Amino acid sequence: MENPKIMIVDDEETLATFLAKVLKEDNPDFEIDVKITGEEALEALPEFLPDLVLLDIRLPKKDGTEVLKEIKDFDRDIQVVMMTGYASLDTAVASLREGAYDYVNKPFETSQVKSIVKNAIERRLLLKEREILIADLSEVNEKLAEANTMLKEKKALADKALENRIGQLSKLNKVSHKINAQVNIEKLIKLIPEATTNLFGISGSIILFLNEDKSNLIIKGCAGNTPIPVGTKISIKTSPFDVSVTKKSVEQVRKVKIGKTDVGPIVCSSLSSGGKNIGALCVFSQEEMDKDSLQLLNTFSSTASIALENASLFDDLQRSSLEVILSLLLIKRFKDPLLKEQAERLSELAETVSKEMGVDKEDIKNIQYAALIHDIGKVVLPEETSDYKLVFEKTSNIIGHVRFLRKALNIIKHSFEDFSKKGEKIPLLSRIFSVINNFDELARKDKDISEVIKFLDKEKGKKFDPKVVESFKKVLKSKVE
């Protein structure tokens, strides 16, 4: 990335110049441009191309909110931090809705501004890297599609070996699309060995990653018949696993001893991320692989590497989005100091009860999200309310556009339904959330735990699913013990 560019837009030119000086002293690499009106800022935008804009809300003629909209129309990835000496919850929420990264009140501590600027620049860098990765990924897929088309055009002239090659490339193209569409790291680690086994028609496949000190590889996923199980540690000095730390892209050996087990033939291809090797993708075959198959494995490993890096970036972006959303809870803390703590406590309770009821990891993550966001709507309500449907409506208005949180919103929505009316047609996660949320609300009102349990028992089969209530009581009992 080139030197970060920052534009400061404030009609108080003295303050803007001072802020520019402070940031420049903190990081001499910053390129900083100061504008005193929104019109000047928008005019300079296409040429200066800032990574971050520090934007005063109250500007002459065109105010900061309007300028924010036009900046986001120009480039939605430009990070914008709103500044004002007239703090307002409405303007804060409005700015966040329009895509502002953060909001700071004047007068501000320079340390606070430096921290926000650092975080905003890092986020901008992450988004730029993501764009590059997606572009590279698209280019790889286009090349694969072109190669596939060219091979199909020559099919009539090809021998059986060439026809097999076409079939493999066709599979590779489909498999590549499948793994590139998966952004969940855990599912991807399971999917890649399965896809490898199917692609090459081999007996088994494993995926390994370097440990922290890069002295060993650890098997994290496998598919088919593999002679070494998940969790096994293998020294990076062992061939062909040494591709994980050498410059070799792929290596094949007839036989290798892992512990007390002789395995082979085995072929390993390196996996990389950010230009650094992170592990290896290995296949077990009854026969040694030919040159074309080795090249294909290397190509597929590159595609798998991109998919893993993309999933990791997506995970980081999810965390960033959650941090922004949870910051809304911090805005509300001045009125209800326990709001954030309640959300985190409810998230932990949701995880424990869901595990007790055999819910898979992905769904557990969604119910945890539901616990964290269910009271976000209170941020825009002037008064405390017990109308949870109204709170949910406001929550949906604020974060309904965040795609990965839609399942969490659906969990909250169905948690208002009575078990006596719909029974198991109500999603399990919603039934779990209904019990733990009601328990937490009553507990917060200083109700005796035994009284709350009596209430849950009384409502079994009516408001609550009896199975969920019993599982919850079991979890509660284990916590007390």
Half-sphere exposure (Cβ direction) of 86: Cα atoms closer than 13 Å: 7
- Dihedral sign of CA atoms 130, 132, 135, 140 in order: negative
- Is 28's pLDDT higher than 60? yes
- Is 339's pLDDT higher than 70? no
Q: Which residues pair with 95 in a beta bridge?
A: none
Better pLDDT: 404 or 298: 298
pLDDT digits (tens, 9 = 90+) for 85-97: 765 666 767 777 7
- Is 246's pLDDT higher than 50? yes
- Is 74's pLDDT higher than 90? yes
Better pLDDT: 164 or 452: 452
Q: Report residue 84: phi and psi, to 5°.
A: -160, 150
* Per-residue confidence (pLDDT) for residue 70, from 0 to 100: 92
Q: State the angle between helix axes of 291-332 and 185-200 in degrees (0 to 180), rounded to the nearest 10.
A: 170
* Per-residue confidence (pLDDT) for residue 405, from 0 to 100: 81
Residues 6+ apart with CB under 8 A from 66: 38
Q: Which of 103-107, 149-153, 363-367 has the lowest mean pLDDT?
A: 149-153
CA-nearest of 188, 182, 184, 183 to 209 is 188
Better pLDDT: 459 or 347: 459
Contact 283, 267 (CB under 8 A): yes
Contact 308, 185 (CB under 8 A): yes
- Is 1's pLDDT higher than 60? no
b/e string for 272-292 if b means 16 or more Cβ within 10 A?
Answer: bbeeebbbbbbbbbeeebeee
Give the 3-state secondary structure of residue 34. Answer: strand
Separation between Cα atoms, residue 413 and residue 40, nearest integer Å: 46
What is the tally of helices (H) and strands (E) in the chain?
Answer: 16, 13
Give the 3-state secondary structure of residue 475. Answer: helix
Mean pLDDT of the chain: 82
Q: ∠ CA 473-479-481 to the nearest 5 degrees?
A: 100
Contact 418, 462 (CB under 8 A): yes
- Is 151's pLDDT higher than 80? no
- Is 162's pLDDT higher than 70? no
Instruction: Summarize the confidence of residues 236-246 as an average pLDDT.
Output: 78
* Per-residue confidence (pLDDT) for residue 265, from 0 to 100: 81
- Is 333's pLDDT higher than 70? no
pLDDT digits (tens, 9 = 90+) for 425-474: 999 999 999 998 888 888 777 677 888 888 888 988 899 999 999 998 88
Per-residue pLDDT band at 21 (split at 50, 70, 90): very high
Contact 203, 284 (CB under 8 A): yes
CA-nearest of 120, 25, 28, 49 to 82 is 120
- Dihedral sign of CA atoms 143, 145, 151, 154 in order: negative
Contact 371, 347 (CB under 8 A): yes
b/e string for 351-363 if b means 16 or more Cβ within 10 A?
Answer: bbbbebbebeeeb
pTM exceeds cut of 0.75 = no
* Per-residue confidence (pLDDT) for residue 223, from 0 to 100: 87
Q: Which of 135-144, 249-258, 453-462 has the lowest mean pLDDT?
A: 249-258
Better pLDDT: 365 or 96: 365
Instruction: Summarize the confidence of residues 330-339 as an average pLDDT.
Output: 53
Contact 269, 301 (CB under 8 A): yes
Peptide bond into 427 cis (omega under 30): no
What element of type H or E holds 8?
strand 5-9
Instruction: Retrieve residue 113's tokens.
Output: 């501004």
Domains of the chain (ranges; CATH) run 5-126 (3.40.50.2300), 154-313 (3.30.450.40), 333-480 (1.10.3210.10)
pLDDT digits (tens, 9 = 90+) for 415-425: 889 999 999 99
> From the CA atom positions of the chain, what is the Rg in Å?
28
Residues 6+ apart with CB under 8 A from 128: 1, 77
* Per-residue confidence (pLDDT) for residue 402, from 0 to 100: 73
